[in-house]
Amino acid sequence: MVYRPTLRKNEEKKPQLTRLELFQLANSIELSLAEPWTSKNSWQEVVLNVFELTSMMKKYFDHLDNTNNNMKALHESENPAREPSTNCNIHLISKCNKEIDSRYCILDFDLANREVFDFVDLNLYISNDPIKKHNFIRDIQLSVLTGLYRYPYGNYLGTLNFIWKASNTEETSEYYETLKAQMITRINDTIPIYCTRQMRENMLQKAS
């Protein structure tokens, strides 16, 4: 078939430019600007644009270098990359007194029939499409006061979202604060630990 050679060619791994090669390339371009012809007035705008280009290349080199060092330190760390207790975001969503959008009817019904602080996984009610997911959370409207817990897990799980029916402000007390704290602990316990490479190696060594 005619398409097979083209397909195999597209599947071939493209040569990658290393950070050092990028830095050396930027320097060699700047050295070429020392040639006599670059001093002519007609080339001044070109020279300035080339210097801007090499400056951007070097900034990108620094970015790659910092990212590489940070990832290396992260992989070698014996602590989780992130933890729910310090990286989660919790906020209240006011009760909506208008007609509820049809997108939220099932979620609204489920929350209204649950006990206070009985959380559910919000992602079960949301489309996997990133834009639809963003819009769903941004525009959320429910007939009950609710709390939203968001945790940017990253990796293959993305952002984890949990939602619950909150207590009314006039009912807030030490008892409800205790229930809320217990619920957050339960949520944190359901979130997988984001293990670093070193943590996985340590676990394998203990198991062997």
Look at strands 89-93 and 120-121 and give their pairing.
unpaired
* Alpha helix (H) residue ranges in 82-196: 84-87, 105-112, 130-138, 174-190
Look at strands 146-154 and 158-165 and give their pairing.
antiparallel
List, for residues 92-145, the tens digit of each pLDDT value: 999 999 999 999 999 999 999 999 999 999 999 998 888 999 999 999 999 999
- pTM greater than 0.75: no
List, for residues 171-188, the tens digit of each pLDDT value: 567 788 888 888 998 998
Helix axes 44-76, 19-32, angle to 10 degrees: 160
- The phi, psi pair for 113, rounded to 5°, reads -100, 10
C-alpha dihedral over 143, 149, 151, 152, to 10 degrees? Answer: 30
Q: Which residues of 147-167 are buried (b: 16+ CB within 10 A; e: fewer)?
A: bbbbbebeeeeeebbbbbbbb
